[in-house]
Structure 1
Amino acid sequence: MIVVTTETIPGMEIDRALGVVTGNTVQAKHIGKDIVGGLRGIVGGKMKEYEEMFQESRDIAEKEMVEKADKMGADAIVNIRYSSSSIMNGSSEILVYGTAVKLKS
Protein backbone atom coordinates (compact mmCIF):
# COMPACT_ATOMS: atom_id res chain seq x y z
CA MET A 1 0.00 0.00 0.00
CA ILE A 2 1.38 3.37 -1.00
CA VAL A 3 0.70 6.02 1.66
CA VAL A 4 1.62 9.63 0.91
CA THR A 5 0.90 13.11 2.19
CA THR A 6 0.78 14.47 -1.36
CA GLU A 7 -2.34 14.72 -3.53
CA THR A 8 -0.70 12.72 -6.31
CA ILE A 9 1.90 9.97 -6.60
CA PRO A 10 4.76 10.85 -8.95
CA GLY A 11 4.82 8.56 -11.98
CA MET A 12 1.39 7.10 -11.24
CA GLU A 13 -2.10 8.09 -12.27
CA ILE A 14 -5.11 7.90 -9.99
CA ASP A 15 -8.06 6.17 -11.64
CA ARG A 16 -10.66 7.00 -8.99
CA ALA A 17 -11.14 7.98 -5.38
CA LEU A 18 -12.78 5.33 -3.23
CA GLY A 19 -13.46 7.49 -0.20
CA VAL A 20 -12.00 8.78 3.04
CA VAL A 21 -10.28 6.31 5.34
CA THR A 22 -9.38 6.93 8.97
CA GLY A 23 -7.45 5.39 11.81
CA ASN A 24 -7.82 6.45 15.41
CA THR A 25 -6.34 5.50 18.76
CA VAL A 26 -6.19 6.79 22.32
CA GLN A 27 -3.08 5.82 24.27
CA ALA A 28 -1.84 6.39 27.80
CA LYS A 29 1.40 5.59 29.59
CA HIS A 30 1.37 3.73 32.87
CA ILE A 31 1.67 5.81 36.03
CA GLY A 32 5.43 5.25 36.48
CA LYS A 33 6.32 6.61 33.06
CA ASP A 34 3.77 9.40 33.49
CA ILE A 35 5.49 10.48 36.72
CA VAL A 36 8.93 10.40 35.05
CA GLY A 37 7.57 12.38 32.10
CA GLY A 38 5.99 14.90 34.47
CA LEU A 39 9.30 15.40 36.28
CA ARG A 40 11.04 16.05 32.97
CA GLY A 41 8.42 18.67 32.27
CA ILE A 42 9.50 20.45 35.45
CA VAL A 43 13.29 20.15 35.14
CA GLY A 44 13.49 20.12 31.35
CA GLY A 45 14.83 17.59 28.91
CA LYS A 46 13.63 15.31 26.18
CA MET A 47 10.40 13.57 27.13
CA LYS A 48 11.07 10.19 25.56
CA GLU A 49 8.23 8.52 27.48
CA TYR A 50 5.72 10.69 25.63
CA GLU A 51 7.58 10.43 22.33
CA GLU A 52 7.25 6.65 22.57
CA MET A 53 3.54 6.98 23.33
CA PHE A 54 2.95 9.21 20.30
CA GLN A 55 4.95 6.94 17.98
CA GLU A 56 3.02 3.88 19.15
CA SER A 57 -0.25 5.78 18.67
CA ARG A 58 0.67 6.89 15.15
CA ASP A 59 1.67 3.34 14.19
CA ILE A 60 -1.62 1.89 15.48
CA ALA A 61 -3.73 4.57 13.78
CA GLU A 62 -1.86 4.22 10.46
CA LYS A 63 -2.26 0.43 10.51
CA GLU A 64 -6.00 0.76 11.10
CA MET A 65 -6.31 3.26 8.22
CA VAL A 66 -4.37 1.01 5.82
CA GLU A 67 -6.50 -2.01 6.79
CA LYS A 68 -9.68 -0.06 5.99
CA ALA A 69 -8.24 1.02 2.62
CA ASP A 70 -7.29 -2.59 1.85
CA LYS A 71 -10.87 -3.70 2.51
CA MET A 72 -12.07 -1.07 0.02
CA GLY A 73 -9.70 -2.45 -2.64
CA ALA A 74 -7.45 0.62 -2.64
CA ASP A 75 -3.96 0.67 -4.10
CA ALA A 76 -2.90 3.79 -2.23
CA ILE A 77 -3.90 6.45 0.27
CA VAL A 78 -3.17 10.02 -0.73
CA ASN A 79 -3.27 13.36 1.04
CA ILE A 80 -2.96 11.83 4.52
CA ARG A 81 -3.11 14.12 7.53
CA TYR A 82 -2.58 13.67 11.24
CA SER A 83 -4.40 15.23 14.14
CA SER A 84 -3.70 14.84 17.84
CA SER A 85 -5.36 15.97 21.01
CA SER A 86 -4.94 15.49 24.72
CA ILE A 87 -7.77 13.57 26.34
CA MET A 88 -6.41 13.91 29.87
CA ASN A 89 -3.01 14.21 31.49
CA GLY A 90 -0.77 11.45 30.16
CA SER A 91 -3.03 10.29 27.35
CA SER A 92 -3.48 11.34 23.77
CA GLU A 93 -5.68 10.70 20.79
CA ILE A 94 -4.18 10.36 17.33
CA LEU A 95 -6.34 10.53 14.22
CA VAL A 96 -4.92 9.88 10.75
CA TYR A 97 -7.01 10.24 7.62
CA GLY A 98 -6.65 10.33 3.87
CA THR A 99 -8.27 9.41 0.58
CA ALA A 100 -8.19 5.79 -0.54
CA VAL A 101 -7.60 5.59 -4.30
CA LYS A 102 -7.44 3.06 -7.11
CA LEU A 103 -4.48 3.55 -9.45
CA LYS A 104 -4.64 3.11 -13.22
CA SER A 105 -3.12 -0.18 -14.35
Structure 2
Amino acid sequence: MIIVTTDYVPGKEVKELMGFVRGSTIHSKHIGKDILAGLKTIVGGEIKEYTEMMEEARQQAIGRMVEDAKSKGANAIIGMRLASSAVMQGASEIIAYGTAVVVD
Protein backbone atom coordinates (compact mmCIF):
# COMPACT_ATOMS: atom_id res chain seq x y z
CA MET A 1 0.00 0.00 0.00
CA ILE A 2 1.40 3.37 -1.03
CA ILE A 3 0.64 6.10 1.51
CA VAL A 4 1.42 9.75 0.81
CA THR A 5 0.46 13.05 2.40
CA THR A 6 0.30 14.74 -1.00
CA ASP A 7 -2.72 14.79 -3.31
CA TYR A 8 -0.95 12.59 -5.86
CA VAL A 9 1.61 9.79 -6.00
CA PRO A 10 4.72 11.01 -7.83
CA GLY A 11 5.21 9.09 -11.07
CA LYS A 12 1.80 7.40 -10.84
CA GLU A 13 -1.56 8.18 -12.39
CA VAL A 14 -4.71 8.00 -10.28
CA LYS A 15 -7.05 5.66 -12.17
CA GLU A 16 -9.93 5.60 -9.74
CA LEU A 17 -11.02 7.32 -6.52
CA MET A 18 -12.28 4.75 -4.02
CA GLY A 19 -13.32 7.21 -1.33
CA PHE A 20 -12.59 8.34 2.20
CA VAL A 21 -10.80 5.87 4.47
CA ARG A 22 -9.93 6.04 8.13
CA GLY A 23 -8.62 4.09 11.06
CA SER A 24 -8.64 5.03 14.71
CA THR A 25 -7.75 3.82 18.15
CA ILE A 26 -8.12 5.08 21.70
CA HIS A 27 -5.29 4.55 24.15
CA SER A 28 -5.23 5.27 27.85
CA LYS A 29 -2.37 5.78 30.21
CA HIS A 30 -1.06 2.81 32.17
CA ILE A 31 -0.89 3.49 35.92
CA GLY A 32 2.69 2.17 36.19
CA LYS A 33 3.88 4.25 33.26
CA ASP A 34 1.91 7.22 34.59
CA ILE A 35 3.88 7.11 37.84
CA LEU A 36 7.18 7.00 35.93
CA ALA A 37 6.01 9.86 33.70
CA GLY A 38 5.06 11.90 36.77
CA LEU A 39 8.55 11.48 38.15
CA LYS A 40 10.02 12.51 34.80
CA THR A 41 8.13 15.82 34.91
CA ILE A 42 10.12 16.74 38.00
CA VAL A 43 13.50 16.48 36.25
CA GLY A 44 12.34 17.28 32.70
CA GLY A 45 13.09 15.61 29.40
CA GLU A 46 11.27 13.25 27.08
CA ILE A 47 8.62 11.02 28.60
CA LYS A 48 9.52 7.89 26.66
CA GLU A 49 6.62 5.86 28.07
CA TYR A 50 4.13 8.23 26.42
CA THR A 51 6.19 8.54 23.24
CA GLU A 52 6.11 4.75 22.85
CA MET A 53 2.38 4.61 23.63
CA MET A 54 1.54 7.26 21.04
CA GLU A 55 3.77 5.65 18.39
CA GLU A 56 1.97 2.35 18.93
CA ALA A 57 -1.39 4.13 18.66
CA ARG A 58 -0.37 5.87 15.40
CA GLN A 59 0.77 2.60 13.86
CA GLN A 60 -2.46 0.89 14.88
CA ALA A 61 -4.59 3.70 13.41
CA ILE A 62 -2.61 3.67 10.15
CA GLY A 63 -2.94 -0.13 9.96
CA ARG A 64 -6.70 0.12 10.34
CA MET A 65 -6.86 2.81 7.66
CA VAL A 66 -4.88 0.56 5.29
CA GLU A 67 -7.31 -2.30 5.94
CA ASP A 68 -10.22 0.03 5.14
CA ALA A 69 -8.53 1.02 1.86
CA LYS A 70 -7.79 -2.60 0.93
CA SER A 71 -11.42 -3.53 1.55
CA LYS A 72 -12.40 -0.90 -1.05
CA GLY A 73 -9.95 -2.28 -3.61
CA ALA A 74 -7.41 0.55 -3.34
CA ASN A 75 -3.66 0.21 -3.70
CA ALA A 76 -2.77 3.71 -2.45
CA ILE A 77 -3.90 6.39 -0.02
CA ILE A 78 -3.39 10.04 -0.87
CA GLY A 79 -3.77 13.08 1.37
CA MET A 80 -3.11 11.00 4.51
CA ARG A 81 -3.36 12.89 7.79
CA LEU A 82 -3.11 12.07 11.48
CA ALA A 83 -5.10 13.77 14.21
CA SER A 84 -5.50 13.28 17.93
CA SER A 85 -7.96 14.37 20.54
CA ALA A 86 -8.60 13.83 24.22
CA VAL A 87 -11.59 11.55 24.69
CA MET A 88 -11.55 11.64 28.48
CA GLN A 89 -9.00 12.33 31.17
CA GLY A 90 -6.08 10.03 30.55
CA ALA A 91 -7.27 8.72 27.15
CA SER A 92 -6.56 9.97 23.64
CA GLU A 93 -7.89 9.04 20.23
CA ILE A 94 -5.58 8.85 17.25
CA ILE A 95 -7.18 8.87 13.80
CA ALA A 96 -5.50 8.33 10.46
CA TYR A 97 -7.47 9.32 7.37
CA GLY A 98 -7.10 9.96 3.68
CA THR A 99 -8.47 9.18 0.23
CA ALA A 100 -8.22 5.65 -1.13
CA VAL A 101 -7.26 5.45 -4.79
CA VAL A 102 -6.14 3.01 -7.44
CA VAL A 103 -2.90 4.01 -9.15
CA ASP A 104 -0.91 2.30 -11.88
Q: TM-score, normalised by structure 1?
A: 0.92
- What are the Cα deviations for residues 19-59 of structure 1, in whole angstroms up to 9, with x where unaligned? 00000000123201011112222331111010001000001
Match in the other structure for 1:25? 25
Residue 91 (structure 1) aligns with: 91
Q: Residue 73 of structure 1 corresponds to which residue in structure 2?
A: 73
Match of 1:54 in 2: 54
1:44/1:89 CA distance change after superposition, 3 Å: farther
Rounded to whole Å, the distance in 2 between the matches of 1:42 and 1:89 is 21
Partners of 2:77 and 2:41 in 1: CA distance:
36
Percent sequence identity is: 52
Q: How many residues are treated as equivalent by the alignment?
A: 104
Q: Which runs of 5+ in 1 are unaligned?
A: none
Distance 1:36 1:90 in 2: 15
Q: Do 1:34 and 1:90's aligned partners in 2 also have CA atoms closer than 8 Å?
A: no
Using the TM superposition, give the Cα deviation of residue 86 of structure 1 relative to its aligned residue in structure 2, in angstroms. 2.2
SS of the residue corresponding to residue 46 of structure 1 reads coil
TM-score by length of 2: 0.93
Moved more, 15-24 or 79-88: 79-88
Instruction: Give RMSD over aligned pairs.
Output: 1.2
